[in-house]
Amino acid sequence: MTHHVRPMMETHPDSGGITDLQTLSACIEACLDCAQSCTACADACLAEDMVAELRSCIRRNLDCADLCATTARVLARRTPDLAVERTLLEACRAACAACAEDCERHADMHEHCRVCAEACRACETACAELLAVLA
């Protein structure tokens, strides 16, 4: 699969303070992947017979999807305010950790939760790696 995040970042005339385009691109891609996975997981949870027991998971999925999508969009805009980017990355990382934890509790019963937890952990790691570059 061809990703266009890195080529877009390479053609942008303003670095926005982040010069490690590999780490930036990987984080944006992980955020977008996690947003999609969380949205799909929430929908799959709603289709389960035990939907009442999955309410917390669904809410965390939706929160995580929104934060990941927002983080990806802001990072792609190369916002010159690194404090805003750090704050978003911390929030995204926290949402991913919470969502992964919730989904991991259901992973043995629901494959979609296992897949979602994996995407959340990958995004959590990508956010931490970008935060380390910004430090």
For residues 73 and 64, what is the distance between their CA atoms, to the nearest angstrom? 14
**14 pLDDT more than 80:** no
- Residue 10 pLDDT: 75
- Give per-residue pLDDT as tens, 53-81: 999 999 999 999 999 999 999 999 876 78
For residues 3 and 85, what is the distance between their CA atoms, to the nearest angstrom? 22
**15 pLDDT more than 90:** no
For residues 44 and 65, what is the distance between their CA atoms, to the nearest angstrom? 14
Domains and CATH numbers, the chain: 20-134 (1.20.1270.360)
- Residue 16 pLDDT: 67
R_g of the chain, CA atoms, integer Å: 15
Kindly tell me the sign of the dihedral angle through the C-alpha atoms of 74, 85, 128, 116: negative
Tell whether pTM > 0.75: yes
- Give per-residue pLDDT as tens, 31-56: 999 999 999 999 999 999 999 999 99
